[in-house]
Amino acid sequence: MTTQSPGTPLPPPKERRRLRERASLTQAQLAARLGVSRETVRAWEAGRTNPRGRRREAYAKLLATLAGPPTLAPEPARAPRPDARAKRPHRKDRTPADPVASNTITAASAAVGSPALDSPAAALTPAQAFDALYAHCAPSLIRQAYLLTGRRELARESVEQAFQIAWYRWPEVAVDPDPAGWVRATTYEYALSPWHQFRPRFRNPEPPPAIPADRALMDVLLSLPPSYRRTLLLYDGLGLGLPETAAETEASTPATARRLLHAREAVVARLPDLAAPGLLRRRLAEVASAERLRAARPAVVRMGGERRARLWTRAAITFTVALISVTVLALYTAPTRYEPPVPPGRTVPGVPPRAAPGPLSDTELALRAKLRALLPNGPQRLSPQPR
């Protein structure tokens, strides 16, 4: 729970976000009006920080304006209605010229991450909200995963795996401030996992791009370390800021800046034509769009995630039942009292070792005859006599 600093009163963090979404504004648009970054607005709406000074006054004034009587603004085009959930998005909503750009991801975040909608008819079911997020993000995420791995099949598998995890944890993902960023981070983590090199299907490299220039750029990207490759794609490919890139890669801002600098130096060293500003981002978009990477249907991904969840649930139940059975069997067959172990045998001194079965020697026969002769009338005490 955060405490507000003294000054102009502000509504609670959830109310701030509701007022922004009521006015059909994204976090980037609100940040542009206030002259701050989108990450700062996200922190204000999450309650992690609060503005101070002039920014606090400007933010409070803007929220008061948004809290006025609602206007008859049309519904955003990127939030599909329930009766149109099976329709594919219009081509004007996509970005085929720049498939690794983040504008579709921002649109999906605004459409899915809205917990309260003005119109009851615009409310989405969980399946419809998931389909909207998948339709906006999956095509571009597959291209991004291809730039990270250089493998078409692994790129599709990474995106499907990330969305299956998102569907399994949908109550958590749906209320996340940036659900598209959550799925993107999960996709990158799965795509860059070092365990894929031990899988038989991914041991042999896939055919490179047909165009020589695209092949050269892919070779440079795949020669970079995974962390450098991911930083370069987020900053130069998607256009994220340095703090956002550092937060998504879980690194400090100076470390992210060094990774980005070394990655650019490695690319320019082998491809000097990409030294111009903005040219690398355009080339990344061209390489990604040159490959025909199609995403599966949202219903197929959801059903795959549900089947996986049922499989793991049944496996957990089976393991639990087996463990309980073994425990009950051990308790039933275990002894009810302590039984000390049998001690090992000890040698008694003064007694000759027992001979093996067989005929007696002359000495043993003489000793037996002597003992029989000395004890004719019962047991008597034997005392040693000197010879």
Last residue of a domain, one of 252, 275, 299: 299
Does residue 130 lie within any of the structural domains? Answer: yes
| pLDDT tens track for 121-131 | 357 888 899 99
Mean pLDDT of the chain: 79
Are 46 and 110 in a shared domain?
no
Are residues 30 and 110 located together in one domain of the fold?
no
Domain assignment of residue 366, yes or no: no
DSSP 93: G
C-alpha 46, offset from chain centre: 22
Same domain as 127, residue 39 = no
Residue whose C-alpha is closest to residue 60's, from 73, 46, 71, 44: 44
Q: Is residue 311 part of a domain?
A: no
| Domain carrying residue 204 | 97-115+123-299
Same structural domain for residues 176 and 265? yes
Say if residue 184 is in the same domain as residue 57.
no
Q: Report the share of the chain in percent with pLDDT over 70.
A: 79
**CA distance to 10, 110, 134, 238, per residue, from 175 (Å):** 22, 11, 16, 23
Residues 6+ apart with CB under 8 A from 247: 39
Print the SS3 string covering 53-75: HHHHHHHHHHHHHHCCCCCCCCC
Let me know whether 156 and 278 are in one domain: yes
pLDDT digits (tens, 9 = 90+) for 358-380: 788 888 888 888 877 776 665 55
Q: Is residue 47 part of a domain?
A: yes
| 3-state percent helix, strand, coil for the chain, nearest multiple of 5 | 60, 0, 40
Chain centroid to Cα 332, Å, comes to 43
Q: Is residue 349 part of a domain?
A: no
To the nearest 10 degrees (0 to 180), the angle between helices 212-223 and 126-149 is 90
Please compute, for residue 216, the number of CA atoms within 13 A of its CA located in the half-sphere on the CB side: 14
- Same domain? 43 vs 177: no
Of the candidates 179, 79, 62, the one whose C-alpha atom is nearest the C-alpha of residue 119 is 79
pLDDT digit string, tens, across residues 58-103 = 888 888 888 764 433 333 334 444 443 333 333 333 333 344 444 4
- Kindly report the number of other CB atoms within 10 A of residue 157's CB atom: 20
Domains in the chain: how many in total?
2
Would you call 191 exposed, middle or buried from its count of C-beta atoms within 10 A (0-12, 13-18, 19+)? Answer: buried
340 falls within a domain:
no
- Please compute the mean of the pLDDT values over residues 114-126 and round it to a whole number: 53
How many other C-beta atoms are found inside a 10 Å radius of the C-beta of residue 5? Answer: 13
In a domain, 310, yes or no: no
Q: Domain holding 58: CATH number?
A: 1.10.260
Query: Do residues 141 and 248 both lie within one domain?
Result: yes
Q: Please give the DSSP secondary-structure letter assigned to residue 48.
A: S
Residue with tokens 């299956």: 164
Looking at the structure, do residues 169 and 256 belong to the same domain, yes or no?
A: yes
Residues 188 and 43 in one domain: no
Residue 223 in any domain: the answer is yes
Residue 294 tokens, joined: 């199609």
Residues 27 and 110 in one domain: no
In this structure, are residues 38 and 181 in contact, taking their beta carbons and an 8 Å threshold? Answer: no
Nearest-angstrom CA–CA distance, 152 and 142: 8
> What is the model's pLDDT at position 289?
82
Distance CA 206, CA 265 (A): 27
Q: Look at residues 271, 299, 327 and tell me which one is the last residue of a structural domain.
A: 299
User: Is 101 in the same domain as 214?
Assistant: yes
Select from 299, 324, 346 the last residue of a domain: 299
Tokens of 85: 């959930």
